[in-house]
Amino acid sequence: MANFNYDAVIKIGSMALIRKEDNDLDYNIFARLASELKPGYILVSSGATEIGRIDYMKRHGGMELKGNIDEIKTDYSAQGQTILMSMYRDFVNPEYSVRQVLVEHSHFNDPAKAEHIKKMLFRAANQNAIPIVNYNDAVSDAENMRMELADLKNSNKSIVECVDNDETAAVISTLVGARLLVILSSVEGIYLDAQDPSTLVEIIEGRDYADVSAKIDTLMESCNGTSRHGSAGAAAKLKYARQALGGGATVIIAHARHRLRDIISGKVKRTIIRIV
């Protein structure tokens, strides 16, 4: 097997895949993104839970599930996963294979499991296949996860929580040594004020990791607000961007409505974080 170096890990958030105005899937986003995927790219895609919720409502007169929130998330995720993968398969170049990779936090906190995933991802690249990664919400028990993470934290080791797919994407970027981590969102990038588009920060760069990390710290103190209710906001994206940067990647944060090639080449507005 060749020692394939990944070109890019691409992460897309749930809200970037949804049309807010009519609470439905944004088929244009799916089609545009999937058509540009190729071997050498890994897609980390959120969306299964939200898509499952929308699909359930369509089939039950607009009614949502009620009861235990963790169980509801599990049920929606199980329903949404099939749709999510089907959408990507419909639009990915038929010459390429598509492989679903469902992960949990334990896979990255155990060196043997992490190595297993790494080898599988490298095999995919060399077999003309595109891995599509998502957190395995359908079988992940929230209470067990909390207890496992608490035990890991007591060991004083650096741990992976996978509480957000931004983190999952950063971890995978480092695991495979990706050249780029592209985070697709429902905003153009990182803003000093999420309510003021004129405050977009287009470039965060420095001579070495310590220099860029210090600039990220300063920016995190300045960032105000989130793009939507419930979002971890710019600070979380910057935290995981720094993690990927430490693994050798250049990080780009941009709006999912743009073509991937335009985002990477800098033809559209974006935030780029890099060592120069």
pLDDT band for position 202 (cuts 50, 70, 90): very high
CB–CB of 95/63 below 8 Å?
no
1-146 is a CATH 3.40.1160.10 domain: yes
Helix 48-59, helix 69-91: angle, nearest 10: 100
Per DSSP, the three-state class of 79 is helix
**What average pLDDT does this structure show over 48-74?**
94
Q: Tell if the pTM clears 0.85, that is, is over it.
A: yes
| All structural domains of the chain with their residue ranges | 1-146, 179-276
The predicted pLDDT at position 150 comes to 57
Residue 76's alpha-carbon distances to 61, 81, 133, 163, in angstroms, are 16, 9, 17, 17
Residues of the chain by 3-state class (helix, strand, coil), percent to 5: 50, 20, 30
pLDDT mean over 41-56 = 95
Distance of CA 23 to the CA centre of its chain: 21
Q: Which one, of 199, 225, 257, lies nearest residue 15 by Cα? A: 257
pLDDT in tens, 106-133: 888 888 999 999 999 999 999 999 999 9
Centroid of chain to Cα 90: 20
